[in-house]
Amino acid sequence: MACGIPPFSLCVTWRFGCRQNLQLLFFLFYLSHMVSGHIRYSVPEEMKKGSLIGNVAQDLGLDLKRLRSGRARIVTGESIQYTELKTDKGTLVVKERIDREQLCGDVTPCSFSFEVILENPMELHQITVEITDINDHSPTFKRDAIQFEISEIANTGARFSLASAEDPDVGVNGLKEYILTENDNFVLKQNSNADGKKYAEMVLQKPLDRETNPNLSLKLIAVDGGTPQRSGTVNIEITVLDVNDNAPVFNQSVYKATVMENAPRDTYVTTVNASDADFGSNSIVTYYFSDPNSGLGNLFIVDEKSGVILITGSIDYEKDKKYELRIDAKDQGGLTDSSKVIIEVTDVNDNAPTISVMSFTSPVSEDSPPGTTIGIINVKDLDSGDNGQVNCRIEQNAPFKIKSNLRNYYTLVTDTVLDRESVSEYNITVVATDAGMPPLSTTRTFNLKVSDVNDNAPVFSLSVYSAFIAENNSPGFSVLTLRAKDPDENQNA
Ligand SMILES: *[C@@H]1O[C@H](CO)[C@@H](O)[C@H](O)[C@H]1NC(C)=O
């Protein structure tokens, strides 16, 4: 019941009529012609009880004695009596808290009126108190937070409307504007409804990127124009939704691994790993050989999910010392990256030396001088390093030597003078051994015959033979047998 300043009598009549105080109504009606003054005060709302509104006695030109003798008092139809007349001082003071917003809402100006009555003679004075707004309310948002889910491919210029704030104060004390906390992506656009109510929108000015910032927390601040200024805040929580805008990236462009040759199937080689900055299914990466026709798929396998590379075929150092695999990583959206895996094969001593005979002469004459070459052999070992380092020796304690002049070539020579008459045949075993761990060796036996030289004269078994013969022997009678030996052979014997 904002009374404002309607014609006085009407206001009073109505108000007191409500209370059915007929006697008073009549009384006031009678007195209505006697109004001698109408004063107006203007005070801010929310003044403390007892605060001075105005000096009524002075303003009405009445002295304090008259106030007392006339039993000056306030008459009002309001259920709440906001003011009190201090007859001892002639002042009007605040009796009850005056809340402009409660009294008038957003109607301006806001005032209430009442009458001061005096008797003997009767006088009636109307007093209107205008209540001016003080900035006693902050702008407030109904919600604590505003949530948005915005795709990271949202276009710039996209608008997102924000909750509006309410401020019951009026005029300059009312809602003035909105402020958005400093951020890279959004700017604030302020608008007014047809009814003058202010609201704001967030406009995307720089694209969002979930990978750098998956969540944004902003604050929308509503401020009024009062002094001191009051404000209200609401949090804006933005979840950036992922789009497959990132390709997988290998954590190494080249991976290196070593494997032993002859390593069994399922031997671990290495693990490749690519990460994808996207989220959820957009970040799932699978691995596969870039070139499925390279033939390396027979030797190695890459696990599609884990990137683990295992051996599936037989690795032979003697065939390939190094393999280069090209591996691609692909995400669900088809974006890819590629990398290289260089696999070095380590040699294993899996090949024994081989001995090939370049030349071999048999028999050898027994008068050959020491150092006579009997044969030339070549040794080979397919392994590398120590595994392929070959050394040759002769097995038994024989009068021969093996010498190397050229790498991997050996000559077999006599070490002493031979004597067919003592040893006519040799089985020479040559052992070729590599330096692997454990070493592997090969043996080869050469059968060497010693040929005769007439180096022995025949020798009689006795130097003197004596015999007795009886007389009268017939011719051809055997007297004695001479025996001579020659250790040489054939004609030489
Ligand atoms: C040499 O080897 C051959 C064949 O094994 C054998 O018949 C011969 O008796 C051997 N000779 C010597 C002197 O050991």
Output the DSSP codes for 355-408: EEEEEE--SEETTPPTT-EEEEEEEE-SS-GGGG-EEEEESS--SEEEEESSTT
pLDDT at res. 215: 94
pLDDT at res. 230: 94
Average pLDDT, rounded, for the chain:
87
- Residue 423, ligand 1, Cβ within 6 A: no
pLDDT at res. 458: 83
427 C-alpha to center of ligand 1: Å? 6
Q: Is the pLDDT of residue 5 over 60?
A: no
Q: Write the DSSP symbol of residue 298.
A: G
Q: Whole-model pTM?
A: 0.60
Interval 338-365: pLDDT, tens: 999 999 999 999 999 999 999 999 899 9
Residue nearest to atom 1 of ligand 1 (CA): 427
In the chain, domain spans: 145-241, 252-326+341-346
- Residue 427, ligand 1, Cβ within 6 A: yes
- Using DSSP, state whether 492 is helix, strand or coil: helix
The correct CATH number of 252-326+341-346 out of 3.40.50.10280, 2.60.40.60, 3.10.100.10, 2.60.40.420 is 2.60.40.60
Task: Compute how many other C-beta atoms are within 10 angstroms of the C-beta atom of residue 474.
Answer: 5
403 C-alpha to center of ligand 1: Å? 24
Mean pLDDT of 68-79: 87
Interval 270-290: pLDDT, tens: 999 999 999 988 999 999 999
Task: Ligand 1 pocket test: pick from 396, 397, 400, 425 the residue with the most ligand atoms within 8 Å of its Cβ.
Answer: 425
421 Cα distance to chain centroid: 89
Report the CATH number of the 145-241 domain: 2.60.40.60
Confidence of residue 333 (pLDDT cuts 50, 70, 90): confident
441 C-alpha to center of ligand 1: Å? 22
Q: Which helix (H) or strand (E) holds 308?
A: strand 308-311
pLDDT at res. 34: 59
- Residue 320, ligand 1, Cβ within 6 A: no
Residue nearest to atom 11 of ligand 1 (CA): 427
Task: Compute how many other C-beta atoms are within 10 angstroms of the C-beta atom of residue 160.
Answer: 16
Cα 212 to Cα 184: distance, rounded to the nearest angstrom: 12
Q: Report residue 52 as tokens.
A: 């001075």
Share of the chain above pLDDT 70, in %: 93
pLDDT at res. 157: 95
Pairing type for strands 441-451 and 364-365 reads parallel
Q: CB of 223 within 8 A of CB of 179?
A: yes
pLDDT at res. 329: 96
Q: CB of 155 within 8 A of CB of 204?
A: yes
Q: CB of 348 within 8 A of CB of 262?
A: yes
Confidence of residue 30 (pLDDT cuts 50, 70, 90): low
Confidence of residue 477 (pLDDT cuts 50, 70, 90): confident
Confidence of residue 294 (pLDDT cuts 50, 70, 90): confident
- Residue 425, ligand 1, Cβ within 6 A: yes
Q: Is the pLDDT of residue 392 over 90?
A: yes
Cα 287 to Cα 307: distance, rounded to the nearest angstrom: 6
Round to the nearest angstrom and report the end-to-end CA distance of the chain: 163
Residue nearest to atom 14 of ligand 1 (CA): 427
pLDDT at res. 83: 93
Phi-psi region of 347 (alpha: psi -120 to 50; beta: other; left: phi over 0): beta
Cα 308 to Cα 287: distance, rounded to the nearest angstrom: 9
Pairing type for strands 91-94 and 300-302 reads unpaired
Is the fold of 145-241 the same as that of 252-326+341-346? yes
Ligand 1 atom nearest residue 425's Cα? 13
Cα 247 to Cα 68: distance, rounded to the nearest angstrom: 93
pLDDT at res. 248: 95
Cα 166 to Cα 429: distance, rounded to the nearest angstrom: 111
The edge-to-edge listing of strands for the beta sheet with 215-224 is 145-151, 231-241, 215-224, 175-180
Q: Residue holding tokens 């070493």?
A: 439
Lowest mean pLDDT among 67-81, 225-239, 434-448: 67-81
- Residue 184, ligand 1, Cβ within 6 A: no
Mean pLDDT of 251-278: 95
44 C-alpha to center of ligand 1: Å? 136
Interval 139-180: pLDDT, tens: 999 988 999 999 999 999 999 999 899 998 888 899 999 999
Long-range contacts of 369-374 (CB under 8 A, 24+ apart): 369/414, 369/417, 370/413, 370/414, 370/415, 370/416, 370/417, 371/413, 371/414, 371/415, 372/413, 372/414, 373/411, 373/412, 373/413, 374/400, 374/412, 374/413, 374/414, 374/428, 374/446, 374/448
Tell me the HSE value of 383 on the side-chain side, using a 13 A CA sphere.
27
β-bridge partners, 152: none
Mean pLDDT of 24-30: 51
pLDDT at res. 29: 52
Confidence of residue 129 (pLDDT cuts 50, 70, 90): very high
Ligand 1 atom nearest residue 426's Cα? 13
Cα 179 to Cα 218: distance, rounded to the nearest angstrom: 10
Interval 461-472: pLDDT, tens: 888 888 888 788
Confidence of residue 3 (pLDDT cuts 50, 70, 90): very low
pLDDT at res. 28: 52
469 C-alpha to center of ligand 1: Å? 50
Cα 306 to Cα 292: distance, rounded to the nearest angstrom: 19
Q: Is the pLDDT of residue 378 over 90?
A: yes
Cα 115 to Cα 127: distance, rounded to the nearest angstrom: 6
Ligand 1 atom nearest residue 447's Cα? 1
